[in-house]
A = this chain, B = another copy of it.
Amino acid sequence: MPKVVDHDQRRAELALALWQVIHEQGIDGVTFRAVAQAAGVSVERVQHYFPSKDDLVLHGCRQMVASAVVDHGPPEAPGDPRTAAEELRSLLIGAMSESVDFKIGASVWAAYQSKAASSPGIGAIVTDALAERARALTRLLAGARGRGGREQPAPTSDDRRDALRLAALSEGLTLRVVVGAVRADEARRVIQAEVDRCVNDT
């Protein structure tokens, strides 16, 4: 039998190496050579999967969005209000910690965000991801508020506004945790309190 090469797996490994390079050098510091070195593969191998540096950088951005979705699971019908509230907390607080992995991931995402304004390709991915995150939080908040019982209720404009506030709060706190301006446990407590207030304020 011929050896089966899992191309998606290879591309995912290269994305991990790319993020390491972006964390250390910024997006504009990305080169095939640096990513190859971080991945422990040849430059030709990287170029086999990604014809251009732009392809590589955009793939890394999409991959980051996709892995956030995989980590948290698809925000589907939450079943009951308690589960919805738990998923809401998970999506907002998630992996927030003092760990190196969290800080690298968050700083790479910050690099993509800061590049979004001047790069249409990255901008489209980031803007879509932020909009989808706001929609997911809106659905979960609507479910957590329990107006629909076990049925997913239609979100109100209050749900949308409060979900946007929760999203922006957790995004702002994440940046403060990454640069060490606030501790992760303090940030988690602030978000937790705000989620509780929002869920109970139906």
Q: How far is the CA of A131 from the CA of B170 in the complex (A)?
A: 17
Rounded to whole Å, the gap between the CB of A200 and the closest CB of chain B is 15
Contact of A117 among B28, B114, B123, B178 (CB under 8 A): B178
A169 touches B165 (CB 8 A): yes
Q: Tell whether A65 is near chain B: CB-to-CB under 8 Å.
A: no
Task: Report the nearest B residue to A26, measured CB to CB.
Answer: B28
Total count of chain A residues near the partner, CB < 8 A: 46
Proximity string of chain A (187-199) to chain B, C-beta cutoff 8 Å, 1 when within and 0 when not: 1001000100000
Stretch at the interface among A46-54, A105-113, A144-152: A105-113
Proximity string of chain A (153-189) to chain B, C-beta cutoff 8 Å, 1 when within and 0 when not: 0000000010011011111110110111110001100
Contacts of A169 in B (CB 8 A): 165, 168-169, 172
Question: In chain A, residues 33-79, which have Cβ atoms closer than 8 Å to a Cβ of chain B?
Answer: none
Q: How far is the CA of A29 from the CA of B110 in the complex (A)?
A: 17
Q: Tell whether A24 is near chain B: CB-to-CB under 8 Å.
A: yes
Q: Tell whether A16 is near chain B: CB-to-CB under 8 Å.
A: no
Contacts of A170 in B (CB 8 A): 172
Q: Tell whether A116 is near chain B: CB-to-CB under 8 Å.
A: yes
